[in-house]
């Protein structure tokens, strides 16, 4: 009896945590637990209830679909329950599911050796039911608790992906699917939220849910929601397709959007192959998914297998490694970048997320730490998606210890002890040490050697680390004093590689003025600005001695860039660095200033966006510049043409907003005179 009470208390605690998470996730649209943590709690509760059935209660989260209808919307009872799916997290679980399916069919007198499965993506969105009567959309409802959802018809009607009338529709058909927000639209939404100083959304699913459950449909209409169908509810007046794959094809025929990423496979091996193929492409998909779904393809076999209380026996969700996880933030380190930017990095208790063990995550900047109220000692949610650097998404506030410490940005650089400053209007603090700072020195050398700068092939991170750490290189000029014997003595650099690097350094002595300017790593000076400076002045010395007013005469150079260039060359150690490079033989052709470009596109500014049919972007850029035009990276009132290809994004929208001429590749070729 003594043992039974702690067990019951543990079950009650798990239920309360899950129900609170459901409340936050479904009703408030403010998730407080990552999916992996939620799944862990649910799995623990399921295991305890399976071992002790006497503890199961009708209101347990394991006995019903997560969620509940909001009181802000009219409640809608579904004609057929909207159930969720059980989860598999490894290959063994998938094999066990397949075994259960084959055993279930065998008991019903239909033994099979190999099951045909329909495989689909498991979208990270909001499940909805769309009811059509005689082809007209009459009701759109959220899943809610599976039996009762919310009437969000007015908002559903604003989603352009959802047809208001079906083609060749039966008397009644209920289409079930997922409302979601694509990644690109999610990023734009959060950018607008930041501009308005409003709360950002944690993830696209959270944003989609918040948009669909707005009381004002006009707000929903502004959120660019999408929809993909994956199943049926009630159907009257038409025969049901024999397979799930045929059902999806039938829905497409009605005019309902269905995701292209689906397949019919044989057995466990086919399922796992689909899982692996989708996993490899996951980060490139335009929307978030958290797994794939395997469903017995035969609808007759689905009826034989039936359902458990909250999920079908004929389908399962195979989840990907969690992209979010909960862990403790044990400290905050400061990294110093090439331009002296100080970036706070969270030290974490090791946690497995996104398929790897993570021990650190970016905190972006001091303002983000303040906004999220991150403190040393906090329990935090960490997110890792694809190859993106892990980041701390949020704090779990009810787990904050009394010993948690508020972070303060240091006033001295942790690498060289130089003063740290933060410009007005900027979020980033910076070290003033420049090349005397070891951290900046390494990054400055890597930038100097990069492909679009002096293109010193073979000079990578590990070699630069060694050259700086052992004191062989203190400035870019020191690179050109290295010989093959010295380089061959470095770790992991043999004689042949050393000789190749020396040859690459020799080639790099001869460059162009614009590449050299870019290689110096002047803040705010990218390739385009370096090219403009080289064209305008023709030679380096006038640039080094130019005032801010003189620099402002260069096309597209504004006050911030002009001040940065003037400040750079006002520093004695930077002028010395340039002279040292000249002394070791680094040179470039100089010319008279080119103030008036010539060619059919002279004086015209272009922006290229999207994927062009036949031209690579760099090729199109070179052609425009050869014809006297200029290519900019951003759209402004000074832009003459935007060259738009497939998947053009925000630059195309900006061009329309500013009424800038938009042309395609063929029209560009015509301007160039073929």
**DSSP strand pairing (341-353 vs 429-431):** antiparallel
Helical (H) or strand (E) element with 21: helix 4-22
Q: How far is CA 112 from CA 104, 109, 115, 145, 314, in A?
A: 10, 10, 7, 35, 14
Is residue 442 part of the annotated active site? The answer reads no
- Residue pointed to by tokens 């040393």: 376
What span, in angstroms and rounded, lies between the C-alpha atoms of 615 and 603? 22
CA 585 to the chain's CA centroid: 44
Asked if 85 and 310 count as a contact pair (C-beta separation under 8 A), the reply is no
Q: How far is CA 134 from CA 62, 91, 137, 169, 239, in A?
A: 37, 44, 9, 6, 15
Q: CA 331, 332, 336, 339: dihedral to nearest 10 degrees?
A: 160
Nearest Cα residue to 115 out of 296, 355, 308: 296
Exposure letters 200-214 (e unless 16+ CB within 10 A, then b): ebbbbbbbbbbbbbb
**Residue 322: phi, psi to the nearest 5?**
-55, 135
> Which member of 5, 122, 319, 630 is catalytic?
122
* 631 bridge partner residues: 606
**DSSP strand pairing (605-609 vs 641-644):** parallel
* 180 bridge partner residues: 226
| DSSP string covering 347-381 | EEEEEEETTEEEEEEE---HHHHHHHT-EET-EEE
Structure tokens, 616: 């690579």
| DSSP string covering 533-598 | HHHHHSSHHHHHT--HHHHTTSTT--HHHHHHHHHHHHSHHHHHHHHHHHHTT-B--------S--
Percent composition of the chain: helix, strand, coil (DSSP 3-state, to 5): 40, 20, 40
Known catalytic residues are 122
């Amino acid at each position: 009896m003594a043992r039974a009470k702690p067990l019951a208390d543990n079950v009650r605690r798990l239920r309360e945590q899950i129900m609170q998470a459901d409340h936050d996730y479904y009703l408030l649209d403010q998730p407080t637990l990552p999916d992996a943590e939620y799944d862990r709690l649910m799995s623990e509760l399921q295991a305890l209830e399976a071992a002790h059935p006497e503890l199961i209660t009708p209101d347990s989260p394991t006995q019903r679909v997560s969620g509940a209808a909001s009181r802000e919307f009219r409640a809608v009872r579904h004609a057929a329950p909207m159930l969720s799916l059980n989860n598999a997290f490894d290959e063994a679980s998938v094999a066990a599911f397949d075994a259960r399916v084959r055993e279930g069919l065998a008991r019903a007198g239909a033994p099979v050796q190999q099951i045909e499965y329909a495989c689909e993506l498991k979208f990270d969105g909001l499940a909805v039911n769309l009811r059509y009567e005689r082809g007209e959309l009459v009701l759109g409802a959220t899943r809610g608790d599976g039996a009762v959802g919310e009437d969000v018809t007015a908002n559903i009607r604003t989603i352009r992906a959802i047809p208001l009338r079906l083609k060749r529709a039966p008397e009644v058909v209920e289409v079930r699917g997922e409302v979601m927000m694509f990644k690109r639209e999610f990023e734009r939404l959060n950018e607008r939220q930041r501009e308005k100083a409003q709360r950002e959304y944690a993830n696209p699913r959270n944003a989609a849910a918040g948009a669909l459950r707005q009381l004002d449909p006009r707000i929903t209409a502004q959120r660019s929601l999408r929809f993909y169908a994956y199943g049926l509810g009630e159907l009257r007046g038409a025969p049901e397709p024999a397979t799930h794959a045929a059902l999806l094809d039938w829905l497409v025929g009605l005019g309902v959007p269905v995701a292209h990423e689906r397949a019919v496979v044989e057995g466990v091996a086919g399922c796992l192959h689909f899982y692996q193929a989708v996993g490899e492409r996951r980060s490139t998909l335009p929307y978030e998914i958290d797994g794939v779904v395997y469903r017995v393809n035969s609808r007759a076999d689905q009826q034989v297998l039936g359902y458990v209380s909250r999920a079908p026996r004929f389908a399962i969700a195979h989840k990907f490694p969690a992209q979010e996880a909960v862990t403790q933030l044990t400290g905050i380190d400061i990294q110093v970048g090439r331009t002296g930017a100080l970036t706070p990095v969270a030290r974490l208790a090791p946690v497995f997320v996104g398929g790897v063990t993570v021990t650190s995550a970016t905190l972006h900047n001091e303002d983000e730490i303040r906004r999220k109220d991150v403190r040393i000692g906090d329990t935090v949610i960490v997110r890792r998606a694809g190859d993106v650097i892990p980041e701390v998404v949020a704090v779990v506030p009810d787990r904050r210890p009394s010993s948690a410490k508020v972070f303060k940005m240091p006033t001295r650089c942790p690498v060289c002890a130089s003063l740290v400053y933060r410009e007005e209007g900027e979020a980033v603090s910076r070290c003033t040490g420049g090349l005397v700072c070891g951290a900046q020195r390494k990054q400055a050398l890597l930038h100097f050697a990069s492909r679009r700068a002096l293109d010193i092939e073979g000079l990578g991170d590990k070699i630069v680390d060694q050259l700086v750490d052992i004191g062989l290189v203190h400035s870019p000029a020191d690179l050109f004093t290295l010989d093959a014997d010295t380089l061959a003595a470095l770790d992991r650099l043999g004689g042949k590689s050393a000789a190749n690097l020396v040859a690459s350094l020799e080639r790099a002595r001869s460059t162009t003025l614009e590449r050299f300017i870019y290689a110096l790593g002047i803040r705010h000076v990218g390739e385009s600005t370096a090219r403009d400076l080289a064209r305008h002045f023709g030679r380096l010395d006038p640039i080094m001695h130019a005032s801010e007013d003189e620099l402002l005469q260069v096309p597209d150079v504004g006050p911030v860039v002009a001040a940065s260039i003037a400040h750079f060359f006002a520093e004695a150690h930077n002028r010395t660095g340039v002279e040292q490079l000249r002394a070791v033989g680094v040179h470039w052709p100089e010319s008279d200033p080119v103030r008036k470009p010539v060619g059919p596109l002279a004086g015209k500014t272009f922006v290229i966006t999207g994927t062009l049919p036949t031209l690579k972007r760099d090729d199109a850029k070179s052609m425009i510049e050869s014809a006297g035009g200029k290519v900019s990276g951003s759209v402004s009132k000074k832009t003459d043409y935007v060259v738009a290809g497939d998947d053009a994004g925000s630059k195309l929208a900006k061009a329309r907003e500013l009424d800038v001429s938009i042309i395609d590749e063929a029209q560009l070729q015509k301007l160039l005179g073929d």
